[in-house]
Structure 1
Amino acid sequence: MSAKTLWSCPCMMRRTAAYLGMRWGGVLSATGNRPGDVLNDAPALVAAKNFFQDA
């Protein structure tokens, strides 16, 4: 698994990636309460544009 990348949410995921010998890919999050609300989160959309680019 050391050649893989772990993409997930915060908390223990960075340590889990290290334990599994994987590269930590970071966190991508957006804000919303209803379906489609995240499309109004401009900073999250900008971050998402390049999030998987280095995968």
Structure 2
Amino acid sequence: MSDNQNNNNSVATGISIGVALGLIFGLAIDNLALGIALGIALGAGIGARNKNPRK
């Protein structure tokens, strides 16, 4: 059960980091929506990858 919670937290943490990065990207490229979308996608991907670390 706690394993599942960790997985969800990794993705959620990744998404929240992604939103923050997305704001920065968005300001940098003058397209906030695209920047946030990229950030969320990146964050979710990183979070999902951290769910199953390679042994």
Q: Do both proteins adopt the same fold according to a TM-score greater than 0.5, normalized to the shorter chain?
A: no
Task: State the TM-score, normalized to the length of structure 1.
Answer: 0.29
Relative to its length, the structure with more helix (as a share) is 2
Relative to its length, the structure with more strand (as a share) is 1
